Structure 1
Amino acid sequence: MKVPFVHGPGDLRLDEIDAPVAGPDDVVVRIARAGICGSDIGYVAMGGVAGPSDRPVPLGHELAGTIAQVGEAVEGFAVGQRVIVNPTTNLIGNGGPEGGFAEHLLVRGVADQAGALLPIPDHVAFEDAALVEPLAVGAHAANRSGAGKGDRVAVFGAGPIGLATIINLKRNGVDHIVSIDLSAFRRERALVLGADAVIDPRAEDVADALKRLHGTAQSWFGEMAATSRYIEASGAPVIGDILAMAAPGAGLCVVSVQKKPVQIDFQQLLARELTITTACAYGDEFAQMLDLVGSGAVDVGPMVSHRFQGGDFLAAFAIASDPERAAKVLVEYS
């Protein structure tokens, strides 16, 4: 079977590998849907998870499928059962030896790792189940930001993680959410998924727009936007700009991968008592998002913009790499 591997910066290839066989503690999942993540795009750009690697790096960690093989020591799972894969257990598609953009995926050590696989409710489609992983990242970012009732939040970036964060901020009772993105396509999706307003940073100054949308706060530093929480989900070099516009007492949560080191003026943080938090992956949110999708309380369908067959993976990746045209791109395996 052909599986995408990163061989160096900008070097993505489809390599032929053997289909996996489950050991006593393992499970093999026949993949039905796999989502392309912004981190996949970043890994290709950098040549690996944290820069060029000494070996090819497989991709794919947003996964739903059906169990094809079960090791003799594994309990609680059966062939034919539909599951989602928690990729954090084996760093699947994140530097580990396996990646999920494949017809079959080996999930190692399921016998000893509770939560490596979660059963998909019968009424939940594979497409929705494959969105659980990015939804969990967004839920973790929303939770780590501390935003809730009474807060006015600005989310930078309306890619899949930004959209997932908006969904969860709305669930957490945030009063007003503004989405900031260069792409009109993505701004429209943000409004559908819960944003109250959007800003095109090419059309107006973001700080001035936030003053208009969130009101102003008077401080020693003059009139500033009364935005109480900022979330950086774009990966663009905007952290310095956010800190410069943030009013005293505001908080910033960074959930994006920053491709270059970021300089921070700690005098600004000190004088205005700003708080910086980061959010990486998820904990209990993974199972919680499966419950959310199963409940039908939120229509997550608008997160998906494109669908491709597995044989067209390179075309799918090219579309996913274009923020002007894509949100979540799903790859389907028969």
Structure 2
Amino acid sequence: MKQVRIHGPDDVRLDEIPEPEPGPDDAILAVAACGICGSDVGYAKLGGVQGPAPEPVPLGHELAGTVVAVGDRVRGIEIGSRVALNPGAAGFGLGSGGPEGGFTPRLLVRGAGLGKSLFPIPDDMPFEIAALAEPLGVGMNAVDQVDVQPGEKVAVLGAGPIGLSAIATLHDRGVEDIVAIDLSETRLEIARKLGAKDTINPKNDDLWNDLGRLHGTEQLYWMDLVDTDVFIEATGSGALLKKAIERGGNGSRISVVALHRQEVPVDFMTVLMKQMRLQGAIEYPERFENMLELLARRDLGPMITHRFRLDEFSTAFEVAKSPDAGAKIMIEIG
């Protein structure tokens, strides 16, 4: 069978591998849909999760499918169940440096017997929608970490899939004053569909002047600030993060969910004087069902802008490298 694996920097191949056999605590999943994550693009550029690895590195961790086999000690998971996957729950780094990855027709889910990896989805939920549970969880956790409340003013920096997931979460929780910031008009249009009240494209507009116009301004000592309560930083741009720290208002919070692979200098005197909160956010809420429940009550379909077959993966991956091309790139397998 086929599986997408990294062989070195910018060397991603669709390899032929043996079909998996489940151990007593494992399950086999017939993968129906698997999304390309921004981290997949980053891993490919590096040649592995942290750099070139001694063995090929399988890709793919945003997925859903049907259980087709279970090990002898697995309980509570039935063959034929339609499920979404929590890729990190069992501790094997699925699609993120571990021995398995989701861009394949048959996936070995190690440790499925622990009951933390596979979650049933409604019969009427398309697999591609269920596959959004993983990126939705990352955006939802970014919101959770800074305790956003209805009535607060939020700026989401970056309207890729994680930023869009944060916007969908905010809107679902009754937060209305959401501003999405991105360089892609396609992504900003999706952001508006998912709940952003306003959008700013820094290619065409002055980001901080426009954000001040929308959220108001304030002055603290000698600093001219925007009156935004919360920033969700989903761009990975160190320069933009530094600017948010500089221009964010008194008592504002910044949730950093993007991967910043380069060091970002922080002016902690500014953080101190504004009593600003900087918060990292990684992975998902403790309860994975939260994402599936949101997907059941709200249409996040606009996030999926491209669909490709597994044998078209090289073309799909090139699209995923271009932020202007769209948002979530979905690989249809089953």
Whether TM exceeds 0.5 here: the answer is yes
Distance 1:222 1:266 in 2: 15
Aligned length: 331
Please name the residue that 2:82 is paired with.
Answer: 82
Query: What secondary structure, in the 3-state scheme, does the structure 1 residue paired with 2:171 have?
Result: helix
- Once the two structures are superposed, the pairs formed by residues 208-287 of structure 1 within 5 Å of their partners are 208-237=209-238, 238-287=240-289
Distance 2:33 2:258 in 1: 24
Please name the residue that 2:208 is paired with.
Answer: 207
Letter in 1 for 2:237: A
Query: Is the alpha carbon distance of 1:242 and 1:285 closer, same or farther for their aligned partners in structure 2, counting shifts above 3 Å?
Result: farther
Letter in 2 for 1:258: H
Distance 1:7 1:172 in 2: 42
Sequence identity percentage:
45
Distance 1:282 1:50 in 2: 21
Distance 2:52 2:273 in 1: 39
Please name the residue that 2:185 is paired with.
Answer: 184
Alpha-carbon shift at residue 93 of structure 1 (Å): 0.4
Distance 2:166 2:74 in 1: 35
Distance 2:37 2:222 in 1: 39
Please name the residue that 1:324 is paired with.
Answer: 324
Alpha-carbon shift at residue 53 of structure 1 (Å): 2.5
Distance 2:44 2:222 in 1: 42
Alpha-carbon shift at residue 280 of structure 1 (Å): 0.2
Distance 1:255 1:184 in 2: 22
Alpha-carbon shift at residue 55 of structure 1 (Å): 2.5
Structure 1 runs not aligned, ≥5 long: none
- CA deviation map 1:51-91 (0-9, x unaligned): 33333211100111011111111111222211111101221
Alpha-carbon shift at residue 204 of structure 1 (Å): 2.0
Query: Is the alpha carbon distance of 1:223 and 1:262 closer, same or farther for their aligned partners in structure 2, counting shifts above 3 Å?
Result: closer
Distance 1:152 1:332 in 2: 37
Structure 2 residue 41 is matched with structure 1 residue 44:
no
Alpha-carbon shift at residue 218 of structure 1 (Å): 2.6
Distance 1:83 1:167 in 2: 22
Aligned CA RMSD, in angstroms, stands at: 1.3
Distance 1:58 1:38 in 2: 15
Distance 2:222 2:251 in 1: 13
Alpha-carbon shift at residue 233 of structure 1 (Å): 0.6
Letter in 2 for 1:95: G
Alpha-carbon shift at residue 263 of structure 1 (Å): 1.2
Please name the residue that 1:150 is paired with.
Answer: 151
Alpha-carbon shift at residue 259 of structure 1 (Å): 2.2
Alpha-carbon shift at residue 285 of structure 1 (Å): 4.5
Please name the residue that 1:129 is paired with.
Answer: 130
